[in-house]
Amino acid sequence: MTDDLYKLTIGELGVLLKNKETTSKDILNSYIKRIKEAEPKVSAYIYNDFEEAERNAESADKIIASGGDFPPLTGIPLSIKDIFLIQGKKTTCASKILDNFISPYDSTVVRKLKENNYVFLGKTNLDEFAMGSSTENSAYKTTRNPYDLNRVPGGSSGGSAASVAADLCAGSFGTDTGGSVRQPAALCGIVGLKPTYGLISRYGIIAFSSSLDQAGILSKDVTDAAIMLGAVAGFDEKDQTTRRFEVKDYAGIVKKADKSLMKGLRVGIPAEFFSEGLDPEIGSKISEIKVLLKELGADIADISLPDTKYSVAAYYIIATSEASSNLERYDGIRYGYRYKEEGGNKMQSLDSLYRKSREAGFGNEVKRRIILGTFALSAGYYDAYYKKASLVRKLIIKNYKDAFGKVDVIIGPTSPTPAFLIGEKTADPLSMYLSDIYTISVNLAYLPGLSMPVGAVKNPSKQDGILPVGLQIISPWATEDRLLSFAKIIEDEVGFRKNPEFRKLDIL
């Protein structure tokens, strides 16, 4: 049993710890063994820190042994996307320009995790500066999908998603700017939660696009997502974009969720989420969920989000413009990679130093987005691009507001296709950008969204292989309790994680 502890969820491990049927050290040892066996094939982590993990586990065991209540993440091994600052540890954002950057302080998410006595397993891989949908843009390695090692795990939180799907951690924290938690969750067959903008602090998260970035959660099931959300949500004086939303007992609410909640619940199906480009097999799986919801008593309504067709274009103007401003600080002077001439000669000018440092430090996708954003903000083009994109954003927000006047939740596919082959889309940036076509509008509208596995399709590359399919659920502002409860009921009916037919991993 000790060797198999890595297979359990956070909720299941918490029960064992509470009943003193295991220890955090035993759980950690199970994960370390699993990581040593499977990580070389998956490449989910940029680095592991087993020494720190052992100190965390020993501390957690002392807290548990002392008696009394303890936070539900106490003694639980988690991974963290290498975009969150952890004091005294390297944070690279998967970029050479931050190759030797040591964090001087903790992000708020990490501070709260430490207060919850978590066990830190390591930092996970990502697309450089969270810019990508496949985790192929990392400066260090390409993470592989545990269901098929020749396919991508999605991105940009692909390392976090793969680490959860391959049982290399009990749960992980990522970031979601345009789908970077939900899309990899869909491709890897796990749960991915992007909370309402402002529910979780962004303090200490390296910025990509400040009005879109949001800390997110990747977990083995919906209950774990609720537990993790409760641990890190809340207003933060260090982040003025956080709101004073009520932080509810999400785990307790999810525990009480049952099928009776479905009766009369209004579920919207946007026509725009089932347009050209959607894999027919994925569309079929989502239709099966529609039938299931009807059987459970939900009222299904066809709705329209007419301006979401502009979401990709608006997103890539707003996000790149904000990235252009945020990444301006990486100059090779204050911190980050500094270019050095051969032979130790000094650069002839400051401008030349900036140019050379950024040229060598940033990858191609980051450069592409900086150039696009700088152009959109430049004199003579601001009104034509950034201002117009901001107006489109307002239309998208209104689309959702109108829709939620008619329905309680909205569902659709998370990704238009299953996991694609490594290298399949790297030469076609537009094709890669369209991987997030169903998730981007949720970020533009500041809404909470969740992806969960609801089945699988046949893997065309492997005779007996499968590829997971994700269902995306969207709810109004600050209704994570509704979102998670709805997802839990579907999870109980579908039973993805408990069905061995859906756990055909390609790693051992």
Q: What is the CATH number of the domain that holds 204?
A: 3.90.1300.10
Mean predicted lDDT score pLDDT of the chain: 95
Q: Does residue 309 have a pLDDT over 60?
A: yes
Enumerate the active-site residues: 81, 156, 180
- Over range 127-139, report the average pLDDT: 97
Looking at the fold, whether 464 and 378 belong to one and the same domain comes out as no
Please give the backbone phi and psi of residue 124, each rounded to the nearest 5 degrees, phi first: -100, 160
Q: What is the pLDDT of residue 345?
A: 65
Q: Does residue 88 have a pLDDT over 80?
A: yes
Q: What is the pLDDT of residue 413?
A: 98
For the ranges 81-95, 342-356, 376-390, the lowest mean pLDDT is seen at 342-356
Question: Is 397 part of a structural domain of the chain?
Answer: no
Looking at the fold, whether 219 and 259 belong to one and the same domain comes out as yes
Looking at the fold, whether 75 and 179 belong to one and the same domain comes out as yes
- Burial class of residue 277 (count of CB atoms within 10 Å of its CB; 0-12, 13-18, 19+): exposed
Looking at the fold, whether 372 and 440 belong to one and the same domain comes out as no
Question: Is 146 part of a structural domain of the chain?
Answer: yes
- Burial class of residue 237 (count of CB atoms within 10 Å of its CB; 0-12, 13-18, 19+): exposed
Question: Is 398 part of a structural domain of the chain?
Answer: no
Counting every residue, how long is the chain?
508
Separation CA 184–CA 435 (nearest Å):
10
Output the six-digit token pair for 10: 């956070």
Domain that holds residue 343: 309-390
Q: What is the pLDDT of residue 379?
A: 83
Looking at the fold, whether 190 and 328 belong to one and the same domain comes out as no
In which band, very low, low, confident or very high, does the pLDDT at 508 lie, cut at 50, 70 and 90?
low
Looking at the fold, whether 381 and 410 belong to one and the same domain comes out as no
Query: To which H or E segment does residue 303 belong?
Result: strand 299-303
- Over range 202-223, report the average pLDDT: 98
Looking at the fold, whether 248 and 347 belong to one and the same domain comes out as no
Question: Is 340 part of a structural domain of the chain?
Answer: yes
Q: What is the pLDDT of residue 349?
A: 83
Q: Does residue 189 have a pLDDT over 90?
A: yes
Q: What is the pLDDT of residue 342?
A: 65
Q: Does residue 207 have a pLDDT over 70?
A: yes
Residue with the two structure tokens 């103007």: 317
Q: What is the pLDDT of residue 1?
A: 52
> How crowded is the C-beta side of 336, counted as CA atoms within 13 Å?
23
Looking at the fold, whether 439 and 364 belong to one and the same domain comes out as no
Q: Please name which of 122, 96, 89 lies closest in space to residue 204, comparing C-alpha atoms.
A: 89
- Over range 169-174, report the average pLDDT: 98
Residue with the two structure tokens 């899309």: 183
Looking at the fold, whether 453 and 380 belong to one and the same domain comes out as no
- Over range 392-417, report the average pLDDT: 98
Separation CA 308–CA 303 (nearest Å):
12
Write out pLDDT tens, residues 424-479.
999 888 889 889 999 999 999 999 999 999 999 999 999 889 999 999 999 999 99
Write out pLDDT tens, residues 33-73.
999 999 999 999 999 999 999 999 999 999 999 988 999 99
Higher pLDDT, residue 508 or 38: 38
Q: Show contacts of 341-344: CB within 8 Å, 24+ apart.
A: none
Beta bridge partners of 45: 124
Question: Is 114 part of a structural domain of the chain?
Answer: yes
Write out pLDDT tens, residues 347-378.
778 888 888 999 999 999 999 999 999 999 99
Last residue of a domain, one of 367, 390, 413: 390
Question: Is 292 part of a structural domain of the chain?
Answer: no
Radius of gyration in angstroms for the set of CA atoms belonging to the chain, rounded to a whole number: 22
Output the six-digit token pair for 162: 């793969």
Put simply, whether the predicted model's pTM sits higher than 0.85 gets the answer yes
Q: What is the pLDDT of residue 294?
A: 97
Q: What is the pLDDT of residue 332?
A: 83
Q: How many domains does the chain have?
A: 2
Q: Does residue 318 have a pLDDT over 80?
A: yes
Q: What is the pLDDT of residue 343?
A: 61
Looking at the fold, whether 363 and 411 belong to one and the same domain comes out as no
Looking at the fold, whether 121 and 219 belong to one and the same domain comes out as yes
Looking at the fold, whether 431 and 386 belong to one and the same domain comes out as no
Q: What is the pLDDT of residue 501?
A: 87
Question: Is 432 part of a structural domain of the chain?
Answer: yes
Last residue of a domain, one of 390, 415, 430: 390
Question: Is 296 part of a structural domain of the chain?
Answer: no
